[in-house]
Structure 1
Amino acid sequence: MAMAGLSLSACEDKLNIEPRGSISPDAVTPADTEVLLNGVYDGFQGGATSYQYLSLLTDDLSSDNLAWRATFSQHGEVDNNAIQANNLLIQYYWQGLYKGIYRANFFLQTVEKLDESTFSNPARKKEVLAEARFLRAYGYYGLVTRWGGVPILTEPTNEKVARNSEEEVWNFIVEDLKYAVENAGEFKSSFYVSKPAAKALLARVYLIRKNYAEAERLAEEVIANNKFSLSENFESVFASKENSERIFSLNSTTNDQTSLSYFLLHNSLANGQKTNGGRFELPADPSLVAAYESGDKRKDVTVQPTVYGGKDYNMVWKYRGGALTGDAWPVARVAEMYLVSAEARAEQGNLGGALDRINDLRAVRGLSDISASGLGDFELKIENERRLELAIEGFRWYDLIRTGRAIEVLPNVTNKNQLKYPIPLAEITVNELLEQNEGY
């Protein structure tokens, strides 16, 4: 230590090096941007708050894809569509998304000030800004589809802010995604935001907002991209984190300790085959299992029979990390783009083209072509196709809401107030400007 002290006194200027474990905004240089950006990704992958990853499952639990078996009453409230405002799972979901958005806003505010000519690759400045804006848009997408209108924050702040309208939130999401489409880099890995990823999420948003022409255009552009293709082996889409179907995923590692499958897996399948283990709190809903037709390759990959306490169940088998390793949550897959294009075509009066796209997907999944007698018949069939293809990927709940079918399909949903989650009580307690959703 004495020798080290002597050497430091001889090189006093080395003591002025800025510590890199944390850094003030004014000290950020282009060399810091990649590390800071990783922190934004981490915020949405589960690093921002405890149990945030579990909230990814609330969409399928609110609908008829997952069921609650035991233990945590918060899951039971979601499954029964009787959520209390003090539900901790819902609180973690809200706070996790806003913490991710906070990180994105901090990054954007800091990096926008940097001169692009000081980057080793000047084009990289717009690319990293596009990645952060995509992630921010994804955060707001999670908020608006669960809560409706929420506060729009465009910079880091601890100020109390009132809710914006639902329309304003959707418009903000579109603005961010348009920027990402224009400025993000080309696809290199599904773990990072790319131009195709931005197109895929924007196509989804346009479908929801009934801008069918743009939804179809963007979905078809992604389908035409030779980086992506439907896989003949559906199991590989989930057994492997990187494959031809994944456009963007939120990755997790063993160190993250955020494996969502821990709550889905039992210790063994019905045939005795061991899994990676879990607490098996959320089995597949029997109606999901019954919805698969004979010969559908997706069924055995999505659900597997198991026996627990002498009773027959089906566990979700798409995510298999369990207690041992991390899973990658699929934010966007090319299969969804086939379904987006099909629905958008049908809503524009092109029923033949819509059937072509849905049957392209079904053929790869080992299924025969379907037909439709008209738009209404097609809408029911694509609703079912989306349920089976995208099961336990966070779509079913809002699909039923956006099509006006939730009250008709879900027995526990009897009034429109249940179509939105309650604003967490903890948030309203500290911010009197937040108005609670009706019915809570």
Structure 2
Amino acid sequence: MITNMKAFKYILPLSLLIGLGSCDKFLDVQPRSSISDDQTIIDKASAETAVNGVYDSFRSYYSVSFQSIGYLSGDNIQWTGSQSQIQEFINHRVNAENSTVSSVWTGIYSSLNRINHVIEKVPNVQDPLLTAALKNKLIGEAYFLRALAYFDLARIWGGVPIITKPTATPSDNRGIERATQEQVYAQVLADLNAAESLLPATTDRFRATQKTVWALKARYYLYQKDYAKAAEYASSVIADAANYKLVTPYNAFFANDARGTTESVFEIFYSVNETNGHRGQWQPQEKGGTRQWAPNDAFVALVNDPAVGGNRSTLVAKDNQGRWYGNMYYRSPATDPTFVIRIAELYLIRAEARAHTGELAGALADLNAIRERAGIAKSTASTADQLLLAIENERRIEFALEPHRWFDLVRTGRAAAVLNVTDNNRLLLPIPSEQLLIDKALKQNPGY
């Protein structure tokens, strides 16, 4: 099922990595049974290196491909290029041969393989320098990242193979049938619980802590429609106002080379040596980009409406040809962070959860905290239905260039009304065709 050599590269000694750098497919190489991964995570330094490798793999799959599924499939973004496979997301007619779908699948399972090596090997490391607290932290980070990976798999494809053991050879993980979506989400919760018990209650915007777990749990419970717990975990993060708060104005969390502000709960760090490919897709040609995706006319009108977008209008700008482009990813070199969880999301999670449980005053207060930061008038929504629609519309603008809109409309059952996606089979993406050819245990999603 995993065809990318990168899925297990990090377990090999460094001296071998250079020689294997050009091998892109498992099918192109022979299993190296003489290489023992027992010798690769053996002390504090190698354990830390392995966990750093996991974060590095997330820089890859969270950079462009995964995120683009979340917003291209919504109603804010247009495709200006010539590759028809990108237009498939906008048209909601994605084919199993789509290269973006394949890239996300292999990217996530590559990350999972790195994670599984950490979870299996680090507990057995005997090194006085690897204290119990540090060991727990490293293992806890791996559990959190595995939860995030399976969460993304579940909401893109539904049921997928659950693999919790590391892969040493190309055939190790073949023949594993797809679990149900419910079982995958159960794995997410189990991993979050494990992470929560191991991680410290510190603040770190670039690595997982107990607070990061609470934030993802809030999102998880919102998706599961367990609104009481969604509100509870969102409140746990929001209550830590010394470390997490909305920054003003809206663009203060990303403009002027900002990173790691109090807005951020978890973001992925990029550097001049590991750049974020997102910038090139959004920026216009005059700034060295391709502007292959851009805000569509409907979104431009909304975000530039002072009563709707407010100061969030800084998400877009015009190039020298008078064309609108997205301006969240703009740095040169492309060191823009990827914002995985922001405190704004926690406010809107709690607002939605409260609206569902009848806490309308609290829901309105949370919604208006976001609107106030955007510099727009407070909402006057007074019923649960009015609040839920107002929250949906607020999320559309607030997270327009982040991977939320499509998943929001799918989880709330609103994709048909808003996007005219009337075929429920299209609410999940197809299993990549190349994976079906490699592993006969995999079955395609209905309708593909």
TM-score, normalised via structure 2 length: 0.86
What is the correspondence of 1:26-425 to structure 2 with a 5 Å cutoff?
Answer: 26-27=38-39, 28-46=42-60, 53-115=64-126, 118-157=128-167, 158-160=172-174, 161-225=176-240, 226-239=242-255, 240-268=258-286, 275=287, 277-292=288-303, 293-294=305-306, 296-306=309-319, 308=321, 313-321=323-331, 324-411=333-420, 413-425=421-433
List gaps (5 residues or longer) in structure 2.
1-11, 17-34
Q: Which moved more, 1:224-233 or 1:162-171?
A: 224-233
- Letter of the 1:39 partner, please give it: G
Q: 1:75 & 1:141 partners in 2: Cα distance?
A: 23
- Letter of the 1:42 partner, please give it: D
Q: Which moved more, 1:73-82 or 1:215-224?
A: 73-82
Q: 2:237 & 2:66 partners in 1: Cα distance?
A: 28
Q: Which moved more, 1:214-223 or 1:254-263?
A: 254-263
Q: 1:287 & 1:307 partners in 2: Cα distance?
A: 21
Q: 2:53 & 2:206 partners in 1: Cα distance?
A: 13
- Letter of the 1:377 partner, please give it: Q
Do 2:311 and 2:375's aligned partners in 1 also have CA atoms closer than 8 Å? no
Q: Let me know the Cα RMSD of the aligned residues.
A: 2.0
Q: Which secondary structure state, in structure 2, belongs to the residue aligned with residue 155 of structure 1?
A: coil
Q: Which secondary structure state, in structure 2, belongs to the residue aligned with residue 249 of structure 1?
A: strand
The alpha carbon displacement at 1:120 in A equals 4.2
Q: 2:350 & 2:216 partners in 1: Cα distance?
A: 13
TM-score, normalised via structure 1 length: 0.88
The alpha carbon displacement at 1:39 in A equals 0.3
Q: 1:245 & 1:257 partners in 2: Cα distance?
A: 22
The alpha carbon displacement at 1:155 in A equals 0.8
Distance 1:234 1:187, change over 3 A: farther
- Letter of the 1:281 partner, please give it: Q
Q: Which secondary structure state, in structure 2, belongs to the residue aligned with residue 252 of structure 1?
A: coil
Distance 1:132 1:298, change over 3 A: farther
The alpha carbon displacement at 1:188 in A equals 4.3
The alpha carbon displacement at 1:320 in A equals 0.9
Q: Specify the structure having the higher radius of gyration (Cα).
A: 1
Do 1:52 and 1:93's aligned partners in 2 also have CA atoms closer than 8 Å? no
Q: 1:120 & 1:100 partners in 2: Cα distance?
A: 23
The alpha carbon displacement at 1:106 in A equals 1.0
Q: 1:132 & 1:196 partners in 2: Cα distance?
A: 15
Q: 2:56 & 2:226 partners in 1: Cα distance?
A: 32
Do 1:178 and 1:202's aligned partners in 2 also have CA atoms closer than 8 Å? no
- Letter of the 1:262 partner, please give it: G
The alpha carbon displacement at 1:208 in A equals 0.7
Distance 1:426 1:366, change over 3 A: same
Identical aligned pairs, as a percentage?
34
